[in-house]
Amino acid sequence: MTAIPDSQWIRVDTNAGSFDAYLSLPPAGVKSGAPGIVLLQEIFGVNEHIRAVADQYAADGYAVLAPDVFWRQAPRVQLGYEGDDMARAMALRKAVDVPAALDDIAATVQVLRQHTGAGKVAAVGYCFGGLLAYLSAARGLVDAAVPYYGGGIQSQLQEAANIRVPVQFHYGALDAHIPPDAVQGVRDAMAGKPDSEIFVYEGADHGFNCWARGSYHQPSAALAHGRALVFLSGAL
């Protein structure tokens, strides 16, 4: 029988309130000092896909905690990718207080370490979560970051000067939300940082890692995940 990750929802307590986070642990358990990942959602909440990604990284041996970034607006919301769900997701994104979300991420890192004994922790994020992963690196909240098609990073390039940890970026060449000039801006901002990598995937659009979306691009998703694992094994 194939071993599966051990997963459950847990609570994260902060001075601003408490929120849920999805915890997924490796089938072999977690040894003290093992690497951890804070997994940061798209604008669709900690939905079935994000939980599956958490389980995927747990199966790779990481202790993973995915915080509910939208807990102030719509606790435990889980949305699809079209129609009314897309409209609601966009509205929730606009309502997020990003500094407060970064405080939540700092608390999530602390709880992950307390709950599992994890050592170094990376932020891995998708879409809006990619922006949060990048900002988490810039604020020194994590030991590494892997932003996938992070929307809005190109508007926060001044934060790159503060990054002192390894960062690996993934973009789709067909992503109209993050055009080539935006990716080039990230390249320029990260130039001279030897621990940064930027990959652009031909034939891939925004959301290419999400197998629940029409934009899923399996070759790019597989290659990016493999690259992320190699990167994380060296960074954590």
Residues serving a catalytic function are: 127, 175, 206
229 Cβ partners below 8 Å, 6+ apart?
60
The Cα 59–Cα 228 span in angstroms is 14
Helix axes 128-138, 98-116, angle to 10 degrees: 80
* Sign of the C-alpha dihedral computed for residues 203, 196, 120 and 163 taken in this order: negative
The first and second tokens of residue 205, run together, are 């659009």
For the chain, counts of helices (H) and of strands (E): 6, 8
Nearest to 236 by CA among 135, 127, 118: 118
* Structural contact between residues 141 and 165, judged by C-beta atoms closer than 8 angstroms: no
The first and second tokens of residue 178, run together, are 């993050």
* Structural contact between residues 106 and 141, judged by C-beta atoms closer than 8 angstroms: yes
The Cα 51–Cα 117 span in angstroms is 21
Tokens 């003290």 sit on residue: 32
Q: Among the residues of the chain, which ranges form H helices?
A: 48-59, 83-95, 98-116, 128-138, 180-190, 218-235
